[in-house]
Each structure stands twice: as structure tokens, then as C-alpha cells.
Amino acid sequence: MEFIRQDLRFALRQLIRTPGFALLTVVTLALGIGATTAIFAVFNAALLRPLPYPAADRLVSLWATLPGQPRLLGAILDFDAMRAQARTITDLGVIREQSVNITGGDTPDRITGAFVTANTLRLLGVRPERGRLILSGESASGSSGAVAVLSDAMWRTRFGGADLIGHTVILDGAPRVVIGIAAPYQSPWGPIDAWIPVSGAPAAATWLDRANRNVWAVAQLRAGVRVADAQREFSTIADRLAIAYPGTNAGLGVRLTPIREEIVGSSAPVLWMMLGSIAIVLLIACANIANLQLVRAARREREIAVRAALGARRGRLVRQLLTESLVLAGLGGIVGLVASTWLTGAIVALIPGGVPAIGAVTFDGRVFGFAAIVAVGTGLLFGAWPALRSTRSDLNRVLTVRGASGGRAATRNLLVGAQLTLCTVLLLGAATLARSLIAAEQTTVGFDPHHVLAGEFRLPQAKYPTPDVQRAFMARALDALRAIPGVESAALVRSAPLTGNFGQAGYRIPGTAPTAVPSSALENDISDGFFHTMRIPLLAGRDFTADDRPGSPLVAIVDQDFANHAWPGQSAIGKQIVILGPPDQVVTIVGLVGSIKQRGIGDLPMPELYQPLRQATGPFVSFVIRGAGDPTRRAPAVRSAIWSLDRDQPVWGIRSIDSFVDSNMAAPRFAFAVGGLFAMFAAILALIGVYGVMSYALTLRTRELGIRAALGAQGLQLVRLVLGEGAVIVVTAVLLGVAGALGASQLFRSLVAGAGQLDLMTIVGVSAGLIAVALGTAWIPVRRAARVDPIIAMRAE
Amino acid sequence: MTAAGEPLIRLQGIKKVFYTDEVETHALADVHLEIGQGEYVAIAGPSGCGKTTLLSILGLLDTPSDGGYVLDGRPVAGLDASERARVRNRQIGFIFQAFNLIGDLTVYENVELPLTYRGMSSSERKERVHAALERVGMAHRVRHFPAQLSGGQQQRVAVARAVAGDPAILLADEPTGNLDSVNGEAVMDLLRELHRNGATICMVTHDPRYEEHADRSIHLFDGRVVDEQTARAEHIP
């Protein structure tokens, strides 16, 4: 114990006596450990922290699939059949999240509703805070389902915590009795404001048709059953259903996803990339500090040798030196931990769409433990090698011969080379992201997104029960929107581009035999004026008109991708397709338009077909309006226009299309920002390493350079000599980094969606740039050394 | 412990060969040497004759290429690094030409250092450190750092550090080499005083004046013992 106290005392004294070194090291470590801990805190919240659901590790989601479409809504009847037949699960419930209008207060509002079966609530661990949950009988088919369980947040914010049990609220225009208030809770799919029996969903009766796929499901695996085993069983059941119901289930599969994967989704690779990148930066920082430690150790060689001569065993000396490193790491860890609390907030704010986790990002025991392990680990990492090396000195030489040792140049060169190699990998990764980002920024979306305002509303089934009534409201709504001052054009559309909404439909060409897996295309329903409003070019044929109404011949407009796929080399105008139902509909193509990015900027092109909204009316619709200036300033006028027709009709999601474009770009911009920031850190640290190593190496070679100068070497010759040796390290390290980056590029592309290929131009540009900057950095001490005065240099020894 | 009549140190056929760039350098060749308990031996010779190499082997800072070394009745030539450290700590006190005090430690801590490696209790260390510093006349400077002392004072502290652990032998490598003549004489007086009180000393020097302080002088040339002289009677305690 006393030894430890002595070591600590001496370590602290050493640091106080070298404040510059101590400060530089602690700040470097604090940044490295702080950033690593902050990212781990996010990682922990998303991927490690236990989920607040019963038997969460056995909870899975179930989505229908078609070839190439891994995440589709399924039919209630199919999930019922799976529940009855599957032996690998204990229970299965269905769920459908959907916007719900809540009215009866000062203003109508849109909330998030979840239409569920009673067992879904049990599976997801929803608990009643007041009243009770939904009973099986209330969610069974045939029941009115006219009850609701409100969330704690909804109950408090909208109803002020009043006694609501047994009272009625108006949801989607229909009265529902509040039977319970759920305890604070977050579902895997985000906050839910109201839980409603699936039997009470709008047009619930039509959901009991295999052709209507409206829900997904959750299930709990039996203990000991692996997801893969359950997947096999469910796929077998899906195959049986496809044979039994070929008209609706041909090609239809089912996909089981562990619930954590469901929550984290595509964010997991980004989190891994962030953690991996910061780990590389931390490694580079460790290599830098190890280099500094080696230089210090060289200066302390005599002290260490004296201690050894006085009887200190090597283990004792290593412990002493490691104590100094661990004290530095400890200080860096403490400061880093404090910094990480701030950094975490910044990272959380920067992640597009927020952290994919249940609950806030907090510092729990795991995060503190991680910070402690990282601090100790870095201390050992940057301290162990110098400690082991510096205690291996030849005592006889050190104690009896004057002058500093230069024997560790190889080690220092190796460390700085490793830094440059890692730095090259990160820089190439960042450059790839930059090129991908530039490519994404330059991607044309196929329409003019500027000066367009979008929004959406859902007509409550109870109030607008038939297509005729819905169509009438929409016609008046479109007129009202077009009448808003400053609006140049307006249109209605089922799924406005880039908003995240989209529909799909299967189709076939008449006269061709039905295939097991039908062709599929994006399907959208639009009013007249949509293409004009969005500035989508009409390439052939015509736009929809008022004559395209119910009862008139069914028509459609297709985009260029669709035409190329269905009728390559032919005109699409006048051709017919069968849109698969039920019921199947034969439609005639009357127009051809340019292809657009419907789902997302980064998505691959997919054929799209448009139908007239008046021939395919539904309760949900979006609007797009174009006018000069900032489109968002028209939001109040839009609400007023809709409320002038129906005071209880909520309008939500009012945003400019430009903002959706920005949202689409957020992920690649974030990936580039993170990758670029880490690469920049790495480059700075590596260049500091290059500078430090060159400076120190040249200090050791002062006498040699002095002799060379005395023998007549010119300054330029000395520069060439020393810089040439540095260039070998730099070029070798960068080439190794290029090889590493090429090796890692496949992994990198699999981790980061949209990351491009590592091309020759990027490799050459980054490598040449890094080599030039590294040699430029090395040139500073080299130039100084080349001006050596032979007399002074030789006296220095 | 050395048996009655046995020398404290016995070197038999010690050789030391350095290999550099395929060149063999014979620093020591077939050196035989015995040093008795309480003896004061000077090792002299021209620069490069192997004095310091011999002292390094005696101090277990270096290992011989061949030959036997018995210290206090125990063969030590083949000991591993850890055991050599233990022997150095308990049986050998070093006095270097360059003092080799640790700049970040106070005078007290420098003298205390070998005792801490021995695992000695704090109270015993304190007692020994004060006693050693009293012997060299530096007890009033315990809180000073080496940089605050003159060269002569630093060497006296180094002597205190060497004797604090009560070693079997003191090895001094040109102890006056970095000192002016006044301070050099003072340090030599100190060593003589220690010798009078029973210390065994082996000192490397190239200064004939200081060689005369020793009981016996061993002259090296090209790594071999070429002459051995016993000092005048008045120097024998």
C-alpha cells in the first residue's frame, strides 16, 4: 500500500513538474475518452440497455413480405392463422398505428392511435395506471370496439388529468368510452396517444379480408426458441397459406424481427461506425501519447537506470511508470466523463431522427464502467510499451556514458507510422462519404421542391363514411386551397413525394399469364394539377381531367421507369395494365411523366403509376400548394381553408417540401459530419505525431548534422537527407492505410447506407494530400535542423 | 555471509567481450581479483583500459562474458535480473561520477530510495536516512532538491544514499571526476572516514593522488590486471 502511495506521489510530482506535457495529455485523453464515452452512452441506450418489455429478448415483430419488399403490412386473417398454427410462440397480437382525429375540444387535433388486439397490450407490457386495458372480447371481430385507453401524456396534456374513466371522447368522429389510462410507456414504434381495439378501426370490417393487408404483429417466442427456428416455422405456415389462398397470398411471406432490431433499425450500422471511428481516433491519440512518453522516457533514462542500480526490480519500475500513465489516464477519464455529458447532448441533437432507443440517453452503471475501462485501457495502452521499453536499458551504458539515447527511433517511427495508417483509413472513409454526399446533393428529385407547401388530413370514417362524401369534401377542400391568396397552383395527392408516405400495387400486362410473383410498382392517387404544381414534366399524353371520374373509363399515368420496364422501346400511351385487386382493374395509360424520387433521395428508382384521386378515393389525403415566397407562411391560411369546411377536421404535417428534402439529406450529411470530424481529429493528431517524432529525432542527430555541415554539406542536402528518411515512413504508412481502407471498404459500404465506392481519384487525392501535408509538417523541424551551426552542434554533445 | 578468511569479493577469470558490427572488443580478459572485508581498493589505469567495465561487473550492472564472481560467499555471475537487483539493493552501494541523484526527489527521498525498494518500514527508513545524512554532513538539507545543491554537496548526498542501506561494499566510479579540487578532497576524506569505520570500498580513479588513499591499487591495461600495489603503512587503518 505504501508503495502505491509513493508511486502516486511521485507520479503527481512528475506531472506538476511537466505541466505542458500533463495538460496536453490530459486534454487529448479527455477529448478521446469523452467522445468515446458519449458515443457509447448513445450506443448503450440503443443497443445494450434492457428493453422495458416483458421477456423482451423473446419479443419479435412480424411483417408480411413479397420478393424485394421485406416490410409490408399483413392481413389479420393471416396472422390469426399463424397464431393458431405456430408452436414456437406463446402468443401473437396484431397492431396498426395510424393517425386519429381527436375532436370535441377547442381545436381538432391529430394524435397517434394504435389499433390492437387485447393480447398485444399484454405482449408489449402496457399497464393500466387507472381503469383497465382492452379485453379480448372488445377487440374480437364483431365487437364495436368503441372503447379507448389513453396514454398518460395525452390524459395530462389534453385533459388536464381529469377523471375520464367511463367518459366519452371523440376519436375519428366516433364516440369511444375511455376505459383506462395507460402508465407512462413507449412502444417500440414510438409514442402512442390512444390504444383502440382493432375491431374499432375505420372500415374494420374490410380488414377481415386476406386481400386487405392493414396490420403487423408482435409475438413472444417460447423460452429457448431461436428467432431463426421460429422464422422457419412461420415461413412454412406462410407457404401453406399461399397454397390455400393463391389469389391473395401467392408469393407472400412473413419476416420475424427481434424487437430491438425493430427499434434500432438501420441506425445500428451508423452507431457501430461512430463507435469504430472514435475508437480509431482514440487509438491514434494513444499512439501519440505513447510517443510523448517514449521521448520522456528517453530523457528519464538515467533516472530509471539509477533506480535500477539502487535495487529496483524491473516490475517495480514498470509499475512506477504505469502509475504515472494511469494517473494521466484517470485525470483524462474524469475530465472526459464530465465532457461526455455535454457531448452526449450534442450527439443526440445531431443524430437525424433522434436516438433509436426507448427512453432518454442516460449515464448508467454500464456507461460509467465503460468510461473507467476505457480510461484504464488507454493508460495501459499508451503507458505499457514505453514503460517496458524504458526499463530494458543497458544500465552500464546509461550510468557510465554521458549523452542521450537514440535507441528508440524505430519504436517512435512505428508508432507515428501506425497513426498515419489509421488516419489514412479514416480520411479515405470520410472522403468516400463526402463524394456520396456530393452525389446525393446533386441528385435531381425529378420535380421542383422549392416554394411548395405540403400537409395531410384524414377524414373520419364516422363522419365521411362513403367515397362520394369523401370525394365531395376533397373537391371543396381543393377549391379552398386554390383560393388562398398567393397560391399559384394546388393539388391533392395520396402520398406527397419525400414525405415518407407511399403506396405500392401489383400489376400485370393484359394477355400475359399471371406469374407467381406479380410485377410491382409505386402507386399514387392524384388530383388534376399535381404534375403542374410539382413541376413534373408531362412527356406524352395528357394530365387527368374532370372527366376522369367514377364511372368513366379507368385511366392511369405512368412514369418513364414504368414505361421502360413494361413496354421497352414502345409508347406507353393507350396501353393497358391490370392493377391487381381485389378487384382487379383494367386501366388505360393516358399519360407519361418524368420519374421522381418518391420515397427518398437515396432510394433506387422504382416504377410509379398514378391514378385519378376521384377514381380511387380514400379517407387519407395530402395536399401540395405552390406559391411565391416562403411556403410555410401559408400554413395558417391552409388550416383556415380546411376549417372553413369542417371546424373539427385536423390538418397536420404542414411543412415545405424543401424541408423534406433536407430531412432526406440529414442522414448522409450526418454521416459525413461524423466521419469528417473524426478524420480531421485523426489527421491533426497524426500530424502532431509526425512533427514530434521528427523534432525529437533531429535533436538526437544534431551532432551528426553538425559534422555533415562541417564537412561541407549544403542546407538543401541536409533537408533532402532527413526529409527523405521521413518520406519513407510517411509513404509506407499511407500505402498501408490505402490497403487497409480498400480491405475495409466493403464493410464500410455495408455499414453506411449510401456510401460510395472507393475510387482511384479519391485514393490518389487523399494519399497525395496526406503525404504532402505530413512532409510539410516534417519540413518545419527539418528546415531548422538544416540551419545547424557546426560549432554549436558539435559542442552540444 | 563471508566465511572466516574468505574474501568479500572473488573474481575468477572474468572476461567481457562487446560485439559491435561484427567487431569483437575484449574489454576484460582473464581478470582475477579478490577484495577482503574492510579493504579499500583503487582500480586505476588509462582511459579505455576496462576500469568502468570491471566496476559495472562488480556492481552487477553488467554480466561477464565468462568467469566466476562470488560476492559475500555467494556466486552471483549467473543470477537473473530480479535477483541481481535484490543483491544490488542489499549489498552494494554506488557512488557515481555524475552523482546520479534523481532531480525530482528531495535529498531525503533520494537517500531513502534504495531503502524503499528493500521494503523497509517507514520509521526505520527515517532513522537510517537521518543517520546517513548526519555522517556526510547534509542533515540540514533534507528538503532541498539536487538542483539546489553544489556539486560537492550532491556527491555527499550520493554517498549518504550509498551507505544508508549498510551495504557490504561501496563501489565508487570516479567520485571526484565532476568536482573541483576542494570538493574532490572533501569527498575523498569522506570515503576515508567511511573506510576507517569499517566500510569496504572499491574505487575507480585515474588520479594518482586519490589512488594513494586506497589500501591497494590494481592497475588495468587493455582489460588485464598488469600491476597490483599495496599502499604505504600509514594508510592502513
Q: How far apart are CA A696 and CA A700, in angstroms?
A: 6
Residues B64/B15, Cβ–Cβ less than 8 Å: yes
Q: Would the CB atoms of A313 and B81 count as touching at under 8 Å?
A: yes
Identify the CA nearest to A608 among candidates A744, A504, A705, A737: A504
Using CA atoms, how far apart are residues A178 and A162, in angstroms rounded to an integer?
12
How far is the alpha carbon of B213 from chain A, nearest alpha carbon, in Å?
Answer: 23
B166 and chain A: CB distance < 8 Å anywhere? no
The reply to whether B126 touches chain A by the CB within 8 Å rule is no
- Contact call for A306 and B88, based on CB within 8 A: no
Evaluate the CA torsion angle A134, A138, A140, A144 in order and state its sign: negative
So what's the pLDDT on residue A514? 67
Answer whether B90 touches A (CB < 8 Å): yes
Residues of chain A found within 8 Å of residue B105, distances taken between Cβ atoms: 10
* Interface with chain B: mutation pick from A12, A300, A306, A321, highest number of B CBs within 10 Å: A306
Are A2 and B118 inside 8 Å of each other by CB? no
The answer to whether residue B141 neighbours chain A at the CB level (below 8 Å) is: no
Q: Are B13 and B59 in contact (CB under 8 A)?
A: no
Q: How far is CA A130 from the centre of its chain?
A: 37
Residue numbers in chain A where pLDDT is lower than 70: 1, 105-106, 397, 400-409, 514-517, 581-582, 710, 712, 748-756, 789-797
Task: Say what the pLDDT of residue A752 is.
Answer: 60
Residues in chain A whose beta carbon is closer than 8 A to a beta carbon of chain B?
Answer: 2-3, 6, 10, 13-14, 17, 302-303, 305-316, 394-396, 399-400, 402
B105 to chain A, any CB pair closer than 8 A? The answer is yes
**CB distance A130 to A143 below 8 Å:** no
**B117 contact residues in A (CB cutoff 8 A):** 307, 310-313, 316
User: Would you say the pTM of this structure is higher than 0.95?
Assistant: no
Give the nearest partner residue to B61 out of A2, A303, A399, using CB atoms.
A399
Q: Measured between beta carbons, which residues in chain B are less than 8 angstroms from residue A399?
A: 56, 61, 96, 100
The radius of gyration of chain B's CA atoms, rounded to the nearest angstrom, is 17
**Segment B57-89, tens digit of pLDDT:** 999 888 899 999 999 999 998 888 888 888 989
Q: Does B62 touch chain A (CB under 8 A)?
A: yes
pLDDT at A37: 93
Whether B135 and B144 have beta carbons less than 8 Å apart is answered as: no
**Which residue among B62, B105, B117 places its CB closest to the CB of A311?**
B117
Smallest Cα distance from B145 to chain A, Å? 13
Question: How many Cα atoms occupy the beta-carbon half-sphere of A781 within 13 Å?
Answer: 24
Residues in chain B: 237
Q: Quote the pLDDT of residue A539.
A: 95
For A17, nearest residue in chain B (alpha carbons): B104
> A24-58: per-residue pLDDT in tens?
889 888 988 998 999 899 889 888 888 889 999 99
Q: What is the pLDDT of residue A795?
A: 55
Minimum CA–CA partner of A311 in chain B:
B89
Quote the CA–CA distance of B48 and B52 in Å, as a whole number: 8
- pLDDT for A400 equals 63
Partner residue facing A311 (CB), from B53, B85, B96: B85
Q: Which residue, A464, A121, A92, A481, is CA-closest to A254?
A: A92
Q: What is chain B's mean pLDDT, rounded?
A: 87
Give rounded-to-5 percent helix, strand, coil for chain A. Answer: 55, 20, 30
Residues of chain A contacting residue B61, judged by C-beta atoms under 8 Å apart? 309, 395-396, 399
ipTM here:
0.79
